[in-house]
């Protein structure tokens, strides 16, 4: 039991670190510098705040490293409960981390074309701005793909919480609700980009405001009850 509680608290800490580093890169840097409707303004923001933009890139990579170890820690915590669900949790975090790291190349591409003098000699300013915006939009779609696998992670974890009673079952239901919101947001962006309102993204974030935050805090503060062995689905 002591070992389980320690592992749970480590998982809670890692999840908080994922949240903090993601908040820096997406919640602060991205919202402060990127204006998707205005390539010129975005280019100016990135050039004048290049260091901040690069901090956002580093923060994204760190968040994926923490996510990787979060998956491994949760696997260790629940590996004796249900092999199928814990394997899904681990696999989804591994894929999410891989997508997240590779996706940072788009942001690196954007800042490179905007700040490297060689590109400024080869292209007109408008062309450079639009090329940088292309990289940023690709990064945005990469985040959407990452959300799909985040949804798989949250759904599997929510189901495991409900069935194992290691944590309050209500947390599992909140995790599943948040998980279902992510694919709706991502696939609507891909299938109906011209009709995708910001409201869908806002509702997705709202649906995920309770489950993940409450679960990570519970893991960090309370730990877990001894997980019960559950039947394979």
How confident is the model over 117-131, as pLDDT tens digits? 888 888 898 999 999
What pLDDT is recorded for position 86?
95
Please state the rounded mean pLDDT for residues 57-84: 94
Quick check: is 176 in a domain?
Answer: yes
Quick check: is 77 in a domain?
Answer: yes
Quick check: is 231 in a domain?
Answer: no
Domain residue limits at 78: 2-221
In terms of C-beta density within 10 A (0-12 exposed, 13-18 middle, 19 or more buried), how is residue 215 classed?
buried
Quick check: is 71 in a domain?
Answer: yes
Quick check: is 233 in a domain?
Answer: no
User: pLDDT tens-digit profile of 28-68?
Assistant: 999 999 999 899 999 999 999 999 999 999 999 999 999 99
What pLDDT is recorded for position 148?
94
| Single pTM value for the model | 0.89
Quick check: is 229 in a domain?
Answer: no
Size of the chain in residues: 233
Give the pair of three-digit tokens for residue 113.
């074309």
Quick check: is 226 in a domain?
Answer: no
d(CA 119, CA 123): 6
Cβ atoms of 208 and 148 within 8 Å: the answer is no
Domain count along the chain: 1
């Amino acid at each position: 039991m002591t070992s389980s509680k320690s592992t749970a608290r480590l998982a809670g800490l890692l999840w908080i670190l994922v949240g903090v580093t993601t908040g820096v890169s997406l919640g602060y840097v991205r919202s402060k510098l990127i204006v998707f409707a205005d390539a010129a303004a975005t280019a100016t923001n990135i050039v004048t705040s290049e260091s901040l933009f690069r901090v956002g890139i580093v923060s994204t990579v760190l968040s994926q490293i923490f996510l990787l170890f979060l998956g491994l820690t949760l696997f260790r915590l629940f590996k004796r409960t249900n092999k199928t669900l814990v394997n899904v949790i681990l696999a989804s975090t591994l894929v999410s981390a891989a997508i997240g790291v590779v996706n940072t190349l788009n942001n690196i591409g954007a800042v490179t074309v905007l700040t490297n003098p060689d590109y400024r000699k080869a292209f007109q300013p408008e062309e450079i701005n639009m090329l940088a915006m292309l990289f940023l939009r690709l990064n945005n779609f990469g985040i959407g793909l990452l959300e799909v696998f985040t949804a798989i992670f949250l759904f599997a974890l929510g189901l495991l919480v409900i069935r194992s009673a290691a944590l309050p079952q209500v947390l599992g239901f909140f995790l599943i609700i948040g998980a279902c919101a992510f694919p709706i947001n991502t696939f609507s962006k891909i299938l109906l980009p011209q009709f995708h309102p910001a409201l869908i993204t806002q509702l997705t974030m709202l649906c995920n405001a309770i489950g993940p935050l409450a679960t990570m805090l519970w893991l960090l503060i309370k730990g877990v009850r001894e997980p019960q062995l559950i039947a394979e689905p």
